[in-house]
Amino acid sequence: MDYQSILKKLMKEDERFVVMTAENRALLRDFPDKLEDRFVDTGITEQALIGSGAGLALRGRIPVIHALAAFLSMRCFEFVRTDAGFPNLPLKLVAFIPGLLSEGNGPTHQAIEDVSIMRGIPNVHVFCPANAQDCTIGLEKVLKSPNPTYIRYNTRQTEFKHSTDFEIGKAEIISKGEDVTLLVYGTLFEEALKTKEMLEAKGIKTGLMNLRMVKPLDEAAILDAVENTKNLVTIEDHFLTGGLFTAVSELLVKNNKSIPVLPISLEDHWFKPVQLDKILELEGFTPEKMSEKIQNKFFK
Amino acid sequence: MDKSRLEELKKIALQARKTILKMAVGPGCFAGSSLSLVDITTYLYNGYLNISKDNLDDENRDFVFLSKGHTVPALYSVFVENGILDKSRIDNHWDPKDDIYLHPNKNVPGIEFHSGSLGHGLGLAVGVALDSKIRKNGSKAVVIIGDGELNEGSNWESLLVAMTYKLDNLIIIIDRNKIQANKKTEDLVPLEPVEEKFKAFGCAVERGNGHDFEWLDETFSKIPFETGKPNVIIADTLRGKGVPSIQERVDRWYCSFNEDEYKELIKELENNA
């Protein structure tokens, strides 16, 4: 089932679900245009969207809220923090075209600090599926969880068969490897998978973890990798600050663990607004460039 | 409104004002703007709303959001009078053992949602009013907004949504005391003509004296003012109402009195009643 089918099924089965959007219909093309009781389009708003979503949640509803990632994470940040985070209300924020997926839109639409922003709010979970298939695997559990959740929606398609075993706060362990372990979430999963294959072709034993959720982070899986691998790489389409690299650094310091870590992310800059394959090339996120970076850092 | 009910409301409001002044002793509270609102909260919680100490968990009760959260003494003081809040908890103002602080929070009975950050209440009330429309239970969503608070753009976003969804179960009360934190509203960011603004946003609007229980009763009895339109009540009020020495003073938003000042203010209040 795809995203819309799952959402429609839940709407049918469970009266608590309300679909909301700030006139962002990309994920709701099959929803009736007629405004129904449990389909609320607030127009181009973010504060009213989150505020009214919180009001609905206060009365026991689960609003599934659609807007572009950049605006949903930043324009109404204080509303998410104060009206959803503090009271721990289950608003589900479906963030469209996060990270590199904004492609040619330009810096206004680049949500590349969104993970940092959202993971900083108590109670808020952050779900970053590797692709559309991975998203549908976790979707129902994420939407039914009691926490407010930021869903870094991912439209990329894959041939990879993800594990259907999904739990909140659990990573998908693709492989274990004693030389290096790649930690990745979201959009760059496919590139990380190919990077792993390229490293293995060079005889480097490579682990790969699809984190699925940056919060709660699968700390046990990462600490286990630290014990059983010599090096870590964090891969994310996000600013270096505040995302996975930061979360892993915090975890290591908190647990008195020391291990070489190579962060692969957007450094302190916005990316050139072009098509995804070009961005991957320009920002060094292709498997060729990532495996080269990893070899230069750890295996020279 | 019959005379005995009018007298009863006046009596409750007087007691509530005493509580507000008491809360302003020591570290203090936003007494000035609480005194402008307290006649309205007295009216709402004593006969108008389907809210009482016995139905705070009733699914079909009415809902109130105090968006101008700093005037929470105008709620707590009324809650004490109708038994929603135990009087002894007022003594815990600022005490770490309780949750009676400067802004509302859900650890105090009768409070539906925390507030303090301006411009949040209307969005919440819109969501609750939408829910009541889905339930078709006739429950009302009331939001109390300060006039200065209307500077916040989120109010106007939410109004557009309220109009779109024809939320005639939504009641927006503007405490129009004409003074925001430190300035007269018309000297800072002028709001008038404020009725026209709400009308232009598709609301049905009534305006009158927010200290006059008979006007309040007449006005609230007419809700919904128009089918399919959000109800807006612009209540003209006075900051510090009831205590002449602080009434309408720009510098009496936040108040902190010592015991002697408090005694004087109580005398003033009683003489003025």
Question: Domain range spanning residue A289?
Answer: 172-298
Task: Please report, rounded to a whole number, the percentage of residues in chain B having pLDDT higher than 90.
Answer: 98
Crossing angle (nearest 10°) for helices A47-58 and B153-164: 60
pLDDT at residue number A33: 64
Nearest CA in chain B to A86: B114
If you average pLDDT over residues A73-80, what whole number do you get? 98
Would you place residue A31 in the very low, low, confident or very high pLDDT band (cuts 50, 70, 90)? confident
Q: Does the beta-carbon distance from B127 to A38 stay under 8 Å?
A: no
Q: What is the ipTM of this complex?
A: 0.94
Neighbours of A244 (CB within 10 A): 27
CATH number of the domain residue A293 falls in: 3.40.50.920
* Residue A167: inside a domain: no
The CA–CA distances, whole Å, from B146 to B118, B175, B176, B212 equal: 9, 5, 7, 18
Claim to verify: residue A268 and residue A179 sit in the same structural domain: yes
Claim to verify: residue A71 and residue A139 sit in the same structural domain: yes
If you average pLDDT over residues A210-215, what whole number do you get? 98
Claim to verify: residue A138 and residue A23 sit in the same structural domain: yes
- Domain count for chain A, please give it: 2
The DSSP output letter for B234 is E
A282, A287, A292, A297 alpha-carbon torsion, rounded to 10°: 100
pLDDT at residue number B60: 97
Task: Count the alpha carbons within 13 Å of A294 in the hemisphere toward its beta carbon.
Answer: 32
Last residue of a domain, one of A123, A152, A181: A152
Last residue of a domain, one of A97, A118, A152: A152
Nearest to A43 among B131, B134, B160 (CB): B160
What is the count of residue pairs from A and B with beta carbons less than 8 Å apart?
91
Claim to verify: residue A148 and residue A9 sit in the same structural domain: yes
Claim to verify: residue A55 and residue A93 sit in the same structural domain: yes
Mean pLDDT, chain B, integer: 97
Report whether pLDDT(B63) > 90.
Answer: yes
Q: Per the omega criterion (within 30 degrees of 0), is the bond before A87 cis?
A: no
Q: Which of B158, B159, B167, B169 to mutate to test the interface with A (most CBs of A within 10 A)?
A: B158
Claim to verify: residue A192 and residue A271 sit in the same structural domain: yes
Claim to verify: residue A17 and residue A145 sit in the same structural domain: yes
pLDDT tens digits for B170-199?
A: 999 999 999 999 999 999 999 999 999 999
Report whether pLDDT(A35) > 70.
Answer: no
Report whether pLDDT(A275) > 80.
Answer: yes
Taken in order of first residue, the domains within chain B and their CATH numbers are: 3-272 (3.40.50.970)
pTM, two decimals, is 0.96
Nearest to B114 among A35, A78, A87 (CB): A87
Report whether pLDDT(B254) > 80.
Answer: yes
Tell me if residue A264 falls in helix, strand or coil.
strand
Is residue A285 within 8 Å of A237, Cβ to Cβ?
yes
* Residue A158: inside a domain: no
* Residue A164: inside a domain: no
Claim to verify: residue A269 and residue A205 sit in the same structural domain: yes
The residue whose two tokens read 């609230």 is B220
* Residue A166: inside a domain: no
pLDDT tens digits for B84-99?
A: 999 999 999 999 999 9
Which spans in chain B are helix H?
3-23, 31-43, 73-81, 121-135, 153-164, 185-188, 194-200, 213-221, 259-272
* Residue A159: inside a domain: no
pLDDT tens digits for B216-252?
A: 999 999 999 999 999 999 999 999 999 999 999 999 8
Nearest CA in chain B to A52: B127
Claim to verify: residue A193 and residue A133 sit in the same structural domain: no
Claim to verify: residue A182 and residue A279 sit in the same structural domain: yes
* Residue A160: inside a domain: no
Claim to verify: residue A147 and residue A177 sit in the same structural domain: no
pLDDT tens digits for B113-157?
A: 999 999 999 999 999 999 999 999 999 999 999 999 999 999 999
- Taking the C-alpha atoms of residue A230 and residue B176, their distance in angstroms, rounded to an integer, is 66
Is the CB of A39 inside 8 Å of chain B's CB atoms? no
Query: At B42, phi and psi to the nearest 5?
Result: -60, -45
Report whether pLDDT(A159) > 80.
Answer: yes
pLDDT at residue number B146: 98
* Residue A274: inside a domain: yes
Is residue B114 within 8 Å of B105, Cβ to Cβ?
yes
Closest by alpha carbon to A229, among A248, A201, A254, A250?
A: A248
* Residue A270: inside a domain: yes
Last residue of a domain, one of A152, A182, A202: A152
Is the CB of B99 inside 8 Å of chain A's CB atoms? no
Claim to verify: residue A135 and residue A28 sit in the same structural domain: yes
Is the CB of A47 inside 8 Å of chain B's CB atoms? yes
In the chain, the amino acid numbered B54 is: D
If you average pLDDT over residues A117-143, what whole number do you get? 98
Would you place residue A34 in the very low, low, confident or very high pLDDT band (cuts 50, 70, 90)? low
Query: At A179, phi and psi to the nearest 5?
Result: -85, -45
CA-angle at A256, arms to A250 and A260, nearest 5°? 70
Q: What share of chain B is helix, strand, coil (3-state, %, to 5)?
A: 45, 15, 40
Q: Does the beta-carbon distance from B127 to A51 stay under 8 Å?
A: yes
CATH number of the domain residue A36 falls in: 3.40.50.970
If you average pLDDT over residues A208-213, what whole number do you get? 98
Task: Please report, rounded to a whole number, the percentage of residues in chain A having pLDDT higher than 90.
Answer: 96
Is the CB of A44 inside 8 Å of chain B's CB atoms? no
Which spans in chain A are helix H?
3-13, 47-58, 69-74, 77-79, 114-119, 132-144, 189-201, 219-228, 244-254, 276-282, 287-298
Is the CB of B165 inside 8 Å of chain A's CB atoms? yes
Is residue B111 within 8 Å of B79, Cβ to Cβ?
no
The DSSP output letter for A275 is -
* Residues 50-89 in A contacting B (C-alpha not used; CB under 8 Å): 50-61, 63, 78-79, 82-83, 86-87
Mean pLDDT, chain A, integer: 97
